Amino acid sequence: MRERLAEIARSVVARGAAPAAVVAVAVRRGRTWVLRSAAAGARSRSRQERVAARCPFDLASVSKPFVAATVARLAQRGALALGSALGTLVEESARTRSAATALELLVAHRAGLQAYLPLYRPLLQRRAFSAHDALRLAAGALRPELRDRSDNLGFEPCYSDLGYLLVGEAAARAGGVPLDELVRREVAQPLGLDVGSSRQWLGCCRDFMRIVIPTEVVPWRGGELIGVVHDENAWAYAGHASCGHAGLFGTAEAVARFGAAVVDAMQGDSYWLSAESVEPLLRPRPGGSLLAGFDSRSASGSSAGSVCGARAFGHLGFTGTSFWCDPDARCVTVLLTNRVNLGRTHPAIRQARPEVHDRLFRLAL
């Protein structure tokens, strides 16, 4: 299997989708998960060191499922409630239209917030960045065409980084520690995962800057981004820490193990998270494919491909990362790349993703 995985990884690089690619597959056989991974390519266009399967990538929005699982763990323990109003958790939101919004609606992208605002803009203007102002702006950024909700299902879904910035802050305040420490405590440590913020990697891995995969060349940020989050809002807000919407770095095997743990929890076979606690994250919701912290496979054009089952769930990351889980086949597939190293509008990953995940699922099944 390993050589076939290596060929799949090489195909991503050969077609020009990204300089670096690592793929992983986890399949449950009886009581055991069997995991394999393989790597291909160079770290970036300018850095020709070979990529290894253990190299950490900027996970980008693949951070969101880790944050959602962290929230579920806190809710399971009673440290917060999914029905809590945002204004009771994040005081900066108290005088905004999102103050009464339930945390669960933010996790499920149904809080009515805009997808994105350039909260980092003061840095471009050589002005001080204010985290308090960023939270207030995010909480107040309801889509202008929306009217007040009439039920507890929220608005029509709109994938929102702003919502997850707020989710991350709410979780950190409920947990009493910075978000990256909270994710480590609730997810990475219990599951034994090589996932964390850049400051955590720098604190525990002396080779981090040598093995981490670079992302985009951004002149106003000093050139090629290495070991620092690609997302500008996350960088402005948290620096080398992490935010609800981005900021985690991890290996392909770690993402696969995380997916496997969620599948086990979903099926009531987990010491880490109960089926009742994970159910709100994976419950089908009206209006689209978005779940809560995860996405489901859409009827057509899904990056998951066409081989996985109808109940498959996963997530994408802007830097070129993705993973998909098929709970019925008990299989997880992962593709990590740094496609933004070729420019953030480089389109080849769109075709590569579904083809790679199809090949990975076929190989596993």
Quick check: is 77 in a domain? Answer: yes
Quick check: is 211 in a domain? Answer: no
Residue range 90-94: average pLDDT? 97
Residue 157 is part of which domain span?
A: 68-178
Q: Tens of pLDDT along 243-261?
A: 999 999 999 999 999 999 9
Which residues 6+ apart lie within 8 Å of 133 measured at CB? none
Quick check: is 140 in a domain? Answer: yes
The burial class, CB within 10 Å (0-12 / 13-18 / 19+), for 27 is buried
Give, as one character, the DSSP assignment of residue 187. Answer: I
Q: How confident is the model at residue 147 (pLDDT cuts 50, 70, 90)?
A: low
Cα–Cα distance between 270 and 91 in angstroms, integer? 35
Quick check: is 330 in a domain? Answer: no
pTM of the model: 0.97
Inter-CA distances, 64 with 132, 188, 292, 307, 333, Å: 21, 14, 9, 24, 17
Quick check: is 221 in a domain? Answer: no
Q: Tens of pLDDT along 2-33?
A: 899 999 999 999 999 999 999 999 999 999 99
Inter-CA distances, 184 with 78, 179, 193, 249, 273, Å: 18, 9, 9, 12, 15
Strand partners, 35: 26
pLDDT at 153 over 80: no
Cα–Cα distance between 303 and 118 in angstroms, integer? 26
Quick check: is 235 in a domain? Answer: no
**Secondary structure E strands in the chain:** 20-29, 32-41, 57-58, 195-196, 217-218, 223-224, 249-250, 295-296, 313-317, 321-326, 331-337
Quick check: is 154 in a domain? Answer: yes
Q: Tens of pLDDT along 179-231?
A: 999 999 999 999 999 999 999 999 999 999 999 999 999 999 999 999 999 99
Cα–Cα distance between 330 and 29 in angstroms, integer? 9
Q: How many CB atoms lie within 10 A of CB 311?
A: 15
In terms of Cα–Cα distance, which of 135, 187, 142, 128 is closest to 165? Answer: 135
Residue range 271-282: average pLDDT? 98
**Number of structural domains in the chain:** 1
Quick check: is 186 in a domain? Answer: no
Which residues 6+ apart lie within 8 Å of 113 measured at CB? 98, 106, 138, 139, 141, 142, 143, 158, 160, 162, 163
